[in-house]
Amino acid sequence: MTPTPTPAAQENWLRLDNQICFSLHAASRAFNSVYRVILKDLGLTYPQYLVMLVLWEHGDLPVKKLGEHLRLDSGTLSPLLKRLEGAGFVRRERSTVDERSVEVRLTEEGAALRERAVEVPRRITVATGFDIDGIRELRTRLDELTTALDAAALSDTPGCS
């Protein structure tokens, strides 16, 4: 069936790799799809929703801090925040004490949106088909994975034979 002389072991590695990376990729996009449907009422995309979650939890923040919470840089956040400002959910105001910094502030409308967003998490949880413990377990695994991958991306290990 496989005409290549490659050892079976390498075939298995390739296949296993396919499984894990593809599974994560697919799960991420599936999550995105569900959020797209649920967040449409609120007029938010999924990454915009993440920004609003951070602002609801921590209050007004400079772009820099927002990026640290979300692990996103200004190249991603700047246009995203402009769209949120265009939608009327946030204002961007350059700090008076440090002119380099831009404060992202919730508008009345943005703060009020929280009331309507409160039901989102439960709907998402239901959609996952997981119970609380299952979600917690999965979250822990994913965070472990992210930590390990971040470390690997830094050390790189390009010369690995």
Binding site for DNA (CB under 7 A): 25, 29, 32-33, 36, 45-48, 62-65, 67, 71-83, 92, 98-102
Q: How far apart are CB 65 and its own copies at their closest, in Å?
A: 16
Q: How far apart are CB 92 and DNA at their closest, in Å?
A: 5
Site string for its own copies, 132-161 (x = CB under 8 A): x-xxxxxx-xxxxxxxxxxxxx--xxx-x-
- Which of 4, 100 has the CB closer to DNA? 100
The interface partner of residue 79, options being DNA, its own copies, none and the CB cut-off 5 to 8 Å by kind, is DNA
The length of the chain is 161
Cα–Cα distance, 29 to 25 (Å, whole number): 6
The interface partner of residue 102, options being its own copies, DNA, none and the CB cut-off 5 to 8 Å by kind, is DNA
Q: Nearest Cα to 45, choosing from 54, 35, 55, 53?
A: 35
The interface partner of residue 80, options being DNA, its own copies, none and the CB cut-off 5 to 8 Å by kind, is DNA
Helices 120-128 and 132-155, packing angle to 10 deg = 90
Cα–Cα distance, 24 to 90 (Å, whole number): 32
- DSSP-derived pairing of the beta strands 61-62 and 90-94: unpaired
The interface partner of residue 156, options being its own copies, DNA, none and the CB cut-off 5 to 8 Å by kind, is its own copies
Q: How many helices (H) and strands (E) does the chain have?
A: 7, 3
